[in-house]
Amino acid sequence: MDNLKGKVALITGGSRGIGKSISKRLASQGATVVINYIQNETAAEDTKKEIEESGGQVFTSKFDVADFDAVHEEVDKIIEKLGGLHILINNAGITKDTLLMRMKEEDWDNVISINLKGIFNCTKAVTRNMFKQREGRIVNLTSVVGEMGNAGQTNYAASKAGIIGFTKACAREMASRGITVNAVSPGFIKTDITDELTEELKKDYISRIPLNRFGTPEDIAGAVAFLVSDDAAYITGEVFRVNGGIYT
Ligand code: NAP
């Protein structure tokens, strides 16, 4: 399938986990993919290599999504080099879990800066070009935790709930320019983030998931691929849940 041929897609945090699956999936559908990461160069290069080996077009771009100036600089370079940017997947995210009683100010600030301000930075950086093109697809990764809450994740839940409001407001601002803005809300997905959970907690979560398993990064990549496809042309401001039924 090459329905994304001629499109340039930037995937923040596209080197590992869910972002890696999204990068591979969009590249396999013909998009030229730009994989953003912050520190793990080996993971980014490995993902790049995998995509190249299957015939995809791919570049890497190292920047911190929380750094307003760096994001603008890098996005401008990408647009100049590749002649446009049609798809932005705001996927980069972190957790700094602890109960509110023990949460340090920096745990709060880090998570909000990367997860929420990062989406503001990246979306703002691509907007002028997408407006000019009168075309664009933006997909923001929120979380079931932003919708239902979770003990020990007040910072993360707040960032992910904020993303939903941001998505809905952007959708209204950008619709007249032919740009759709949606969120994908994963449940518990098997990646480095969930590998950090204790076995006991993993078992407890799985027992509460009607489909009785953690999701895979590919489950999320499929939803993202749908939202950037022509089939989703009339969908904007939506929160697309991919959570095995744990929250409906
Ligand atoms: P992950 O495996 O930990 O990968 C995180 C990615 O984000 C890496 O590529 C990392 O780059 C990059 N990154 C981290 N901080 C960054 C920054 N400041 N600037 C640029 N890139 C940065 O995460 P994941 O589990 O795939 O999660 C991806 C997204 O899905 C996140 O937004 C997460 O909140 C959301 N989500 C995940 C789950 C889940 O169960 N896994 C559930 C719901 C929602 P480096 O490799 O260089 O560090």
The string of pLDDT tens digits covering residues 44-71 is 999 999 999 999 999 999 999 999 999 9
3-state SS class at 131: helix
CA of 146 to the centre of ligand 1 (A): 15
**Does ligand 1 lie within 6 Å of residue 215's CB atom?**
no
At 196, is the pLDDT very low, low, confident or very high (cuts 50, 70, 90)?
Answer: confident
| Ligand 1 probe mutation, 22, 63, 88, 91, most atoms within 8 A of CB | 91
Percentage with pLDDT > 70 across the chain: 100
pLDDT for 192 beyond 90: no
Between CA 16 and CA 68 the distance in angstroms is 22
DSSP 234: T
At 41, is the pLDDT very low, low, confident or very high (cuts 50, 70, 90)?
Answer: very high
Between CA 80 and CA 233 the distance in angstroms is 26
Between CA 54 and CA 49 the distance in angstroms is 9
pTM equals: 0.98
The string of pLDDT tens digits covering residues 87-122 is 999 999 999 999 999 999 999 999 999 999 999 999
**Does ligand 1 lie within 6 Å of residue 146's CB atom?**
no
**Does ligand 1 lie within 6 Å of residue 196's CB atom?**
no
Per the CB < 8 A criterion, the answer to whether 164 and 237 are in contact is no
